Every structure is written in structure tokens, then in C-alpha cells.
Amino acid sequence: MKKLIYIVVVIAILGAVGFKLMSNKEQMAANAAVAGIKSDAIPVAVTAVKTARLDKSFTAQGNFAPIQSLTLLSETQGQIQKVLKRKGDRVKAGELLLQVESNTMAADLATAQTNAEKAKRDLERFENLAAGDAITKRQLEDARLAAKSTQGQLVAARQRLTKTRITAPISGEINEIYVEVGSYLGTATKLYDIVNVDKLKLKVKVSESEVLLVQKGAKVKVKADAGSGQEYEGVVTAIAAQADPTLKFDVEVEVKNTTNNNLRAGMYGTAFFEAAEQRDALLLPREAIVGSIQNPSVYVVKDGKATMRQVRVGTVTQDQVEILEGVQPEDQVVRSGQINLREGMNVTVLK
């Protein structure tokens, strides 16, 4: 009896699964039919191929970098006695930043100075004796060597004492400080990060067609993306001689900052490169291009159908592409909706 019940249950389950699969198949067929109906006329927006003046002016984005920046390292040893400049302070080149304990260095200088003076007096005495043949040439030479050696030791002692007064090597703003009063310095201890943003470099990348329009020394309009629309005048100071792996060329534009240094290193900026050359050309919006600029094509609409055509492009600007071959003036080219298109599909032109 139980065996019979199990068989009935299994048959019922198999029947339910079969019914579900049949329902899914019918639903998929219905969906496909609906999709087929929709594909009969894909809605697209079109634009006509127009002859217009081709403006080769272009923009490029990048980041502002400081004209000068450095990490100041210690050249002496000893304990810091005074910290005169801190993070956020503006400094001028040569201005005192830190004072390191100098008693030992001062004592070394006094000793070196004494030794140098004694060696100098000894040399003068030996030269007088040598004039009367009272000493040998070897003794005179030793006296001269001692005078030179002690003079070198004196110069070195003065430099060591001078280095206990740590000064700013460049003008700028202290971006970071790494030491405090009481810190013990060793050689090459990190002290400060100093950044000069009185001038900045906007580093941008341009294409191979755009780099031919850039000239060193040319004036460029620059805006900071985070600014209030204020415009700055920049000058092209460097153009890369070689492209990077993405076939882009580095261009540096130097920009003078405002009095209160509104521009900051690391901000995004936009440079506008104006090109004087203009000429008539067949133009299409960049969004009409299917595929890459290296292998471009477009969909042309004629008699309610979309036909793909390979095209050859010329100059490419920020929002337009020059078409050299593949389309004719007044051809209706799909501007948007290409993602759903295939060769020969019916289309409906959106008004």
C-alpha cells in the first residue's frame, strides 16, 4: 500500500514539473514574440551630415602641481631647541625654521680656530727660519701642510655650526612638519615638506592630433574645476617628445596663482587651447560614431532602415568628428539608439 502511495506522489510531482516547464516555454515564446514586434521599428534619434567650419580648438583636463616642492632633511646631529615654523606657515628662502643644540659645535669651532691660528704662526716662524737656512725643507713643508690641514678643519667646523641653524631652501608654505622641540636629529632625519604654490603647473594629456596644435610659450586659458569660474592665464612650458602607452602626450601649463593662493596643488583644472586654423569640413557629433575612432562606422537611415557604413575620420575635437569618406552631405545618421541596432533593422525616427 505504501509503495503505491509513493508511486502516486512521484507521478504527481513529475506532472507538476512538466506543467511548469511548459508554462515557462509558452511565456518565453510570448516574450520573444513581443521582442520581435518591438524590433520591427527601433526608435532612434538622427542627425544630418553637415558642412561647417571646423574649429580645432580643444580642452584638456589635468591636475595642478606645485612649481616647487621638497622634503627638507637634516644635515646635522643634535637635539632641537627651537621650532620657529609650523604647518601652514609661509616661509621665505633663507628664513630660520629650526635651531639645533650648538654648544658642541661651537666648542669644536673654537678648537679648530685655535689650531688654525697656531699653525699659521708656526708657518710664519718656519718661513723666517728657512730664509736663514736654519731648518730643512722637509720641516718647512710639514709646517705648510699643517697650516692647510688646520684651515680645512676650521672651514668644516664652521659649516657644522652653521647647519645647526636650519633654514628654508625655497620660499613656499609648510605642508607638513615631522619634528618637535626635544627631538634628536640624525643625518637625513625628515624635517619639513615645503610646497611653493605661488605658481603651479597644470599637467594635462593631449592626443597625437592635438599635440601638433600646441606650441611652447603659447598662452592658454585655465580654470579650476573647483573654483567659481575664475579664469587664469597660463603658458605652455613643456611638451612631451614621446607619447605614453595610451598614445597621449604630456603637456605642462604654468599658471600664476592669486595673491591669496586660491589654487591648490592636486586640484583638477581645465586648459583651453585655442587654434586659429579653421576650414570647411563634413562634421558629425562624436556620439554618432559606432566603435572606436581607430575603426569607426555609423548607421545611416534610409527608407526606414538602418545601414551600417564604414567611415574614415579626420580631425577629432571634443564633440565633433570630421568625416572624410563614407557618408554624403544631408545623409541621416543615427545619433543615439545605436546600441539596439543591427544591419537592415527597421527604425522609427524620433522627432
What is the SS3 assignment for 154-202? HHHHHHHHHCCEEECCCCEEEEEECCCCCCEECCCCEEEEEEEEEEEEE
Contact in structure between 334 and 340 (CB atoms under 8 Å): no
Residue 82 grid coordinates? 627651537
- Residue 346, Cβ neighbours under 10 Å: how many? 12
Give me the pLDDT at residue 18, please. Answer: 54
Query: Would the CA dihedral through 229, 234, 239, 240 be positive or negative?
Result: negative
Q: Give the Cα separation of 66 and 68 in Å (integer).
A: 5
Q: Give 135's DSSP letter.
A: S
Give me the pLDDT at residue 34, please. Answer: 39
Contact in structure between 273 and 58 (CB atoms under 8 Å): yes
Question: Phi/psi at 35 (nearest 5 deg)?
Answer: -60, -40
Q: Identify the structural domains of the chain with CATH numbers, from first to last.
A: 42-54+278-349 (2.40.420.20), 59-67+197-273 (2.40.30.170), 102-163 (1.10.287.470)
Give me the pLDDT at residue 37, please. Answer: 40
pLDDT in tens, 255-310: 999 888 889 999 999 999 988 767 788 899 989 999 888 889 999 999 999 999 99
The label of the residue with cell 718656519 reads 126
CA–CA distances in Å: residue 149 to residues 116, 118, 121, 144: 8, 12, 14, 9
pLDDT in tens, 145-198: 999 999 999 999 999 999 999 999 999 999 999 999 999 999 899 999 999 999
> pTM (2 decimals)?
0.61
CA–CA distances in Å: residue 277 to residues 213, 309, 312: 9, 29, 21
Q: Which residue has the higher pLDDT, 14 or 134?
A: 134
Q: Is the backbone of residue 102 left (phi > 0), alpha (psi -120 to 50) or beta?
A: alpha
Q: Give the Cα separation of 307 and 328 in Å (integer).
A: 14
Query: Would the CA dihedral through 274, 277, 280, 281 be positive or negative?
Result: negative
Q: Which residue has the higher pLDDT, 330 or 54?
A: 330
Contact in structure between 177 and 87 (CB atoms under 8 Å): yes
The amino acid that residue 218 corresponds to is: A
Q: Give the Cα separation of 197 and 171 in Å (integer).
A: 9
